Structure 1
């Protein structure tokens, strides 16, 4: 491995240690009791080193891969050009979820922290909005449409974001025992079919 490769590997290892320490402390102490000083100490690095990798403890929790963490929009841009929009999104989603499912325990713990910490909601909403906008831009580029004036890019980005959020919540509610990718596929299939269940009228009870 080259010297540059070794530096990048060390940087990635330190970032991973900081993200793991952030999650561990949040799980053990509660989010409000977690400080950057405690995270750095738990990862055996300096306070200054933390900020070489993350801008805040919130980023360390929500984006454990750091600012360079690959986004769904980035994966979509790498999807085979011949795939239509929704198929390309599914291709990108599968790769996104494969990374998340590589460490299901960490994913469950992170979601548990998010679900019991209202103070994280504004940052989570901001991050989700940014990701959704980037996904809409990637879809616009792929389809030759305008993300601001045409319906498809923004609408598809929004419903895919919602489908993934619902899939994650269902996965968490089932204790992580069901394939997250399978749950996302179920949601995307329902979207592709025009939400057929929504057209069924409930039986009137007598």
Structure 2
């Protein structure tokens, strides 16, 4: 009985978070992110302002749709990756999993275009991404058996994040190309080497 109650409570939390994120995104698309208030988002999701702050620290995080479950699943995928899987491949599965979740929610293109057109949202995305990257780097370094201060795991995680940001920027200018396709192309470039001739003398 207690387990069922816990499952119901967690489902209710997920539904409330999703309702707030959807309301925030819809209002931001309608009015522009700078003209949306926390009070409007809470009212649109039929919850109190106090409830809003139980899920998001400010309206920008709600518009971004920050979902801690994405990071939790990413860290778990990293911890359980097969031993023979390369670090960049592991990072690809992590990123593609998050992209798949966002695409299933029908939010990837709409939210990406909104973010790239708003300095405030872009700043918040970058700041929150830095914290995610620190946790992912620590997990990847542990999986690789390297110290947390190693360059390679940090560079792999950072390059993956950059591939996503570049994909969103390119998608804004070429909306006919899906973000997921652009991210996949970015990973292939990383895997092949951005500049194999680097360091060679004439």
Common fold: TM-score over 0.5: yes
Is 70-79 or 46-55 further displaced after alignment?
Answer: 70-79
How many Å apart are 1:109 and its aligned residue? 2.1
Aligned to 1:48: 50
- Pairs aligned (count): 194
- CA 1:22–1:186 in structure 2 vs 1: closer, same or farther (change >3 Å)? same
- CA 1:179–1:30 in structure 2 vs 1: closer, same or farther (change >3 Å)? closer
List structure 1 runs of 4+ shifted beyond 6 angstroms. none
8 A Cα contact 2:64 2:125, kept in partner: yes
Aligned to 1:130: 131
- CA 1:130–1:91 in structure 2 vs 1: closer, same or farther (change >3 Å)? same
Q: Distance in 1 between matches of 2:170 and 2:81?
A: 27
- Greater helix percent: which structure? 2
- SS in structure 2 of the partner of residue 137 of structure 1: helix
Q: Does 1:115 align with 2:120?
A: no
Q: TM-score, normalized by length of structure 1?
A: 0.83
How many Å apart are 1:7 and its aligned residue? 1.7
- CA 1:74–1:60 in structure 2 vs 1: closer, same or farther (change >3 Å)? farther
Q: Does 1:190 align with 2:189?
A: yes
| 1:169-193 deviation digits (Å, cap 9, x = unpaired) | 3334332x44443322221111111
Q: Distance in 2 between matches of 1:168 and 1:79?
A: 27
Q: Which runs of 5+ in 1 are unaligned?
A: 200-206
Of 33, 57, 60, which aligns to 1:58? 60
Q: TM-score, normalized by length of structure 2?
A: 0.84
- CA 1:37–1:120 in structure 2 vs 1: closer, same or farther (change >3 Å)? same
Aligned to 2:159: 159
Q: Distance in 2 between matches of 1:4 and 1:56?
A: 27
How many Å apart are 1:34 and its aligned residue? 0.9
RMSD between superposed Cα atoms in Å: 2.3
Alignment of 1:89-100 (within 5 A): 89-100=91-102
8 A Cα contact 2:116 2:172, kept in partner: no
Q: Which runs of 5+ in 2 are unaligned?
A: 198-202
Q: Distance in 1 between matches of 2:111 and 2:18?
A: 14
Aligned to 1:140: 141
8 A Cα contact 1:132 1:158, kept in partner: yes
Aligned to 1:203: none
Is 31-40 or 178-187 further displaced after alignment?
Answer: 178-187
